[in-house]
Amino acid sequence: MTSRNDTLFAAARRHIPGGVNSPVRAFGSVGGTPLFFQRGQGARAFDADGKGYLDYVGSWGPLIAGHAHPAVLEAVSRAMANGLSFGAPTEAEVAMADYLCELLPSLEMVRLVSSGTEATMSAIRLARGYTGRDAIIKFEGCYHGHADSLLVKAGSGLLTFGNPSSGGVPADLAQHTLVLDYNNVEQLADAFARHGDKIAAVIFEPVAGNMNLVAPRPEFLKAMRDLTAKHGAVLIADEVMTGFRVGPQGAQGLYGIDPDLTTLGKVIGGGLPVAAFGGKREIMEKIAPLGPVYQAGTLSGNPVAVAAGMATLQLTRAPGFYETLAARTGQLVDGLSAAAAKAGVTFSAQSVGGMFGLYFRAEPPTSFAEVMTCDKDTFNRFFHAMLEVAPEGHYFAPSAFEAGFVSAAHSEADIAATVAAAGQVFAGLAD
Ligand code: PMP
């Protein structure tokens, strides 16, 4: 019997490049036909054939409360009944700005936008406008959305400025981006020693979640803060993924980071398009209409999207929310590690709050180079077998190089079911 996923994918490819509206959805890395989802409820999502999966993607992070949470749906319905958009100020966005500044002590002012890409692109422009410098530092394997300055790979020599990693990005622009190794303190110090007076900003993921999951070394976080402060560069914590995902104050609360600017997205929209950038008042006041750095958006601070985000953030304030989320995510990575060990599969896993990394290598990686040594083929077999295992599927990110997410809707029994299924799958992989 043909799956409706196949029929839809064939139809999708007629008018949508690659059949998808964002590339990683195409299963290019794992092979096969992407699932087309038609419905989600709590920890589960159901595909076009009606088959259910325990979902460990959660729309790539936003769905910390699970799919279709009643409180979120109700807030959205209430907001929707009053009209979808005004392109003028509304009370809801004031409440959200106040709430974000209350929750994250490093935020004195915040501007709402509609995607993580807009947030990071705007933060970079602001840092350049504020410092009057052009160069930025990013780290290999960190993803900050698809703005031109950020689609850059390392230059040919150590500490040389970068080259475009995408067609359509001018080399003239890429040459202002220096791409360094995550967690490498010496290289960062060296870069500042050579180019310190040219560097407008360092942008980083405080837990790297776009090269599977790489945890930050405390000395790396400290070096970034010290060096940017010493050289007058802006430190931008990209918390689009980690914000309100790894703890009640994001990664900055967890690790005691004090960034100049922070970017947020995903959880703060609860599944609708809300993102933000904010930080020190002195820097934020350079944004139009107060200052000379331009930034705008027809749908920025959209009342319906903000309603979903506020309702989601309020759910995360329930007593014990993050303790339970971290415990469940820990249960998953410990369970999977034990199941793999029992089956004799080389595997490791770790979690930070509600996000996790699975690695087909003996130890969790601490650098991009180590991530690249994971056994991608075995991951791909694991991925497909977990989709197909009975009685229900288990949906992980369709790439060996993405972090995974647990929601508050995942029960202990759900995680146990995934671990039990993985036990069977690992036994098959060891053959
Ligand atoms: N920064 C980080 C750390 C991200 O993980 C992402 C998206 N995965 C982005 C920025 C871009 O966000 P968006 O996809 O909403 O543009």
Give the pLDDT mean for 147-155. 92
Model confidence at 159, pLDDT cuts 50, 70, 90, reads: confident
- Judge contact between 259 and 234, C-beta under 8 A: no
Q: Report whether pLDDT(51) > 80.
A: yes
Q: Report whether pLDDT(148) > 90.
A: yes
**Is 294 a residue of the active site?**
no
Encode pLDDT of 396-410 as tens digits.
999 999 999 999 999
Q: Is 241 in the pocket of ligand 1 (CB under 6 A)?
A: yes
Q: Report whether pLDDT(248) > 80.
A: yes
- The one-letter code for the residue type at 7 is T
Q: Is 145 in the pocket of ligand 1 (CB under 6 A)?
A: yes
The percent of residues in the chain predicted with pLDDT above 70, rounded, is 99
CATH tag for 4-68+319-429 (out of 3.40.50.300, 3.40.50.10330, 2.40.50.140, 3.90.1150.10): 3.90.1150.10
Residues 143, 255, 322, 359: which is the catalytic one? 143
Q: How far is the CA of 80 from the centre of ligand 1 (A)?
A: 26
Q: Report whether pLDDT(53) > 80.
A: yes
CATH number for the region 70-316 comes to 3.40.640.10
- pTM, whole model, 2 decimals? 0.98
Model confidence at 425, pLDDT cuts 50, 70, 90, reads: very high
Q: How far apart are CA 52 and CA 126, in angstroms?
A: 44
Residues 55, 181, 238, 260: which is the catalytic one? 238
Q: Is 57 in the pocket of ligand 1 (CB under 6 A)?
A: no
**Is 266 a residue of the active site?**
yes
Give the pLDDT mean for 312-336. 98
**Domain edges within the chain:** 4-68+319-429, 70-316
Q: Is 151 in the pocket of ligand 1 (CB under 6 A)?
A: no
What pLDDT does 349 receive?
98
Give the pLDDT mean for 115-136. 98
Give the pLDDT mean for 239-244. 98
Of 151 and 159, which is predicted with more confidence? 151
Chain CA centroid to CA 107, Å: 20
> What residue owns the CA closest to ligand 1's atom 5?
241
Q: What is the ipTM of this complex?
A: 0.99
Can you tell me which atom of ligand 1 is nearest the CA of 242? 3
**Is 238 a residue of the active site?**
yes
- Judge contact between 368 and 140, C-beta under 8 A: yes
Model confidence at 431, pLDDT cuts 50, 70, 90, reads: low
Q: Is 355 in the pocket of ligand 1 (CB under 6 A)?
A: no
Q: Report whether pLDDT(156) > 90.
A: no
Output phi, psi for 261, to 5 deg: -130, 150
> What residue owns the CA closest to ligand 1's atom 14?
116
Name the one residue in this structure whose structure tokens are 């075995």.
378
- CA-based nearest residue to 187, from 224, 216, 212, 213: 224
Give the pLDDT mean for 184-213. 98
Q: Is 252 in the pocket of ligand 1 (CB under 6 A)?
A: no
Model confidence at 1, pLDDT cuts 50, 70, 90, reads: low
Q: Is 115 in the pocket of ligand 1 (CB under 6 A)?
A: yes
Encode pLDDT of 249-258 as tens digits.
999 999 999 9
Q: How far apart are CA 335 and CA 337, in angstroms?
A: 5
Residues 53, 55, 266, 322: which is the catalytic one? 266
Q: How far is the CA of 149 from the centre of ligand 1 (A)?
A: 14
Can you tell me which atom of ligand 1 is nearest the CA of 275? 15
Give the pLDDT mean for 345-349. 98
Q: How far is the CA of 424 from the centre of ligand 1 (A)?
A: 34
Can you tell me which atom of ligand 1 is nearest the CA of 142? 3
Q: Report whether pLDDT(323) > 70.
A: yes
- CA-based nearest residue to 322, from 352, 355, 353: 353
What pLDDT does 160 receive?
83
Give the pLDDT mean for 276-302. 98
Q: How far is the CA of 338 from the centre of ligand 1 (A)?
A: 32
Question: Which residues have C-beta within 8 Å of that of residue 105, sequence separation ≥ 6?
Answer: 249
Q: How far apart are CA 261 and CA 257, in angstroms?
A: 11
- Per-residue H/E/C for the chain: CCCHHHHHHHHHHHHCHHHCCCHHHHCCCCCCCCCCEEEEEECEEEECCCCEEEECCHHHCCCCCCECCHHHHHHHHHHHCCCCCCCCCCHHHHHHHHHHHHHCCCCCEEEEECCHHHHHHHHHHHHHHHHCCCEEEEECCCCCCCCHHHCEECCCCCCCCCEECCCCCCHHHHCCEEEECCCCHHHHHHHHHHHHHHEEEEEECCCECCCCCECCCHHHHHHHHHHHHHHCCEEEEEECCCCCCCCCCHHHHHHCCCCCEEEECHHHHECECCEEEEECHHHHCCECCCCCECCCCCCCCCHHHHHHHHHHHHHHCCCCHHHHHHHHHHHHHHHHHHHHHHHCCCCEEEEECCEEEEECCCCCCCCHHHHCCCCHHHHHHHHHHHHHCCCCEEECCCCCCCCEECCCCCCHHHHHHHHHHHHHHHHHHCC
- Per-residue H/E/C for 159-171: CCCCEECCCCCCH
What pLDDT does 158 receive?
65
Cα 215-218-220 angle, rounded to 5 deg? 85
What pLDDT does 97 receive?
98
Q: Report whether pLDDT(206) > 90.
A: yes
